[in-house]
Amino acid sequence: MEFIVSPDFLALQQLYEVIEEPTLLKISEASLERVKNCRLYLDEKLKQTNKPLYGINTGFGSLYSKNISGEDLEKLQENLVKSHACGTGAEIDSSLVRLMLLLKVQSLAYGHSGVQVNTLERLVDLFNAGIYPVIYQQGSLGASGDLAPLAHLALPLMGLGEVYFRGEKVPAASLIEKLGWEPIRFKAKEGLALLNGTQFMSALGLWSIYHAEKLNLLADIIGALSLDTFDGRLEPFDAQVQNIRPHQGQEATAQHIRQLLHGSELIAQPKQHVQDPYSFRCMPQVHGASKDTLQFVKKTFETEINSVSDNPNIFPQTDDIISAGNFHGQPLALGLDFLSISLAELGSISERRTYQLISGLRELPPYLVANPGLHSGLMIPQYTAASIASQNKQLCTPASVDSIVSSNGQEDHVSMGANAATKTIKVVDNLYTLLSIELLTAAQALDFRKPLTSSPTLMAFCQEYRQLVPFIEEDRILHEDIQTTIAFLKGLSIASVQHIIKR
């Protein structure tokens, strides 16, 4: 697939396709013209003025009052990248670095950053060749942009740092020499343009949003299966109930459950109980709130990926160079905190349904095993789920309410959006595990309901799943079943999950 970087509006759905498919980047002529004109304007401006221009002919942060001589402007940018490449912690996955490269190209290509065309094209070359700089999780305050992560992203342009190429970590210098590329010599402002920006937060947030889209739907599918195997009631999902409290997510969830359970023998059988526990009965309200949160976060990130987030901003048409704060990650930090909370709630209610299914209620055997006592069955996966649900609560302490002064007081309020992003990634992975444990449990319960069946849709879904994870006749190593289930859910595309619901 070819992805054209252009000034046109970029929808999240286009980036979902980049996540799912092999992609080559190409910069549109309109973008190249903008970048070229902005650089020409900046070069001319520097020839004509002695006025201090932050980060262009001055120092950085609290050193803004230090003027830099003309002959040192290029060295200034080189030193900036080197000094800021101080990330620590675990390396982020190359799939996330790939998104960072794309988003950095997109932001610079609007022509308000002052980079050279060959700098932009080298970023495209890295993306297209599958050369991914080594970037670390820790180091960004999410305020002057993602300084440390983006410094590591920029190092290979200079022939420095390390990269992954074809699965192997190698020095950037040796790979660039092997490919016959020349290191980029940064001109005034370029290092700052590369380091200022929200591309670390944005890339991790985009990845989380993509998976959140799928996880919100999987929660409905697996929740519907649990409701059916628990011998639950369908009345709480009636459209009339949702119409008198018409939150969009609530209405959508109830509709999904009705569609998924259409034609189920289990849901149609007479019930001995008049109400179900909240974890079943309140799925429209709980799942729905998470869906509504996702819509808010998507809007925030869609605005961000169509933005220029470095500093200072250059406006050739009005002859303005303005030092401002577009690099501040507060919108993303708040959105990521909100997203992680909404996903944790899907995991929390999922764990409760798992607990109900193994509790020996409604004519299901305790722990869903034929011979409890000799066999522990699905007793302990619920422990695992409880541990993970609790960890998610701890991870959902908001990062965005924190701020630590940096740069000698010049940068006195920061977003901590990068920390919000890294913990949201963990919440996403945890939710895959929680839903996998619920699916493992609900599928086991379904077999105990034979000869009655669930809906054709859910029976087909379970049949596909059973090809990978068979019925548990007696105790076995359940770690393997959980890992297989996680891989099964992660392997489903958004389109395939949507198809299950609309089937």
Positions marked catalytic: 54
Neighbours of 58 (CB within 10 A): 16
Measured between alpha carbons, how far is 194 from 161 in angstroms, rounded to an integer? 15
Is the Cβ–Cβ distance between 458 and 359 less than 8 Å?
no
Measured between alpha carbons, how far is 495 from 122 in angstroms, rounded to an integer? 33
Pairing mode of beta strands 313-315, 320-322: antiparallel
Output phi, psi for 355, to 5 deg: -60, -45
Size of the chain in residues: 503
**Over the Cα atoms of the chain, what is R_g?**
26
Residue partners of 78: CB distance under 8 A and separation at least 6: 158, 186, 191
- Please spell the DSSP secondary structure of 48-91, one letter per residue: H--S--TTTTB-SGGGTT-B--GGGHHHHHHHHHHHH---EEEE
| Residue position matching structure tokens 């054209």 | 4
Q: Is 304 exposed, middle or buried (0-12, 13-18, 19+ CB in 10 A)?
A: buried
Containing H/E element for 378? none
Q: How far is CA 462 from the centre of its chain?
A: 28
Beta-ladder partners of 131: 165
Neighbours of 363 (CB within 10 A): 9
Q: Which two tokens stand for residue 497?
A: 């999950």
Q: Is the peptide bond before 312 cis (omega within 30 degrees of 0)?
A: yes
Cα dihedral across residues 195, 201, 202, 203: positive or negative:
positive
Measured between alpha carbons, how far is 239 from 376 in angstroms, rounded to an integer? 40
Q: Which two tokens stand for residue 176?
A: 């660039």
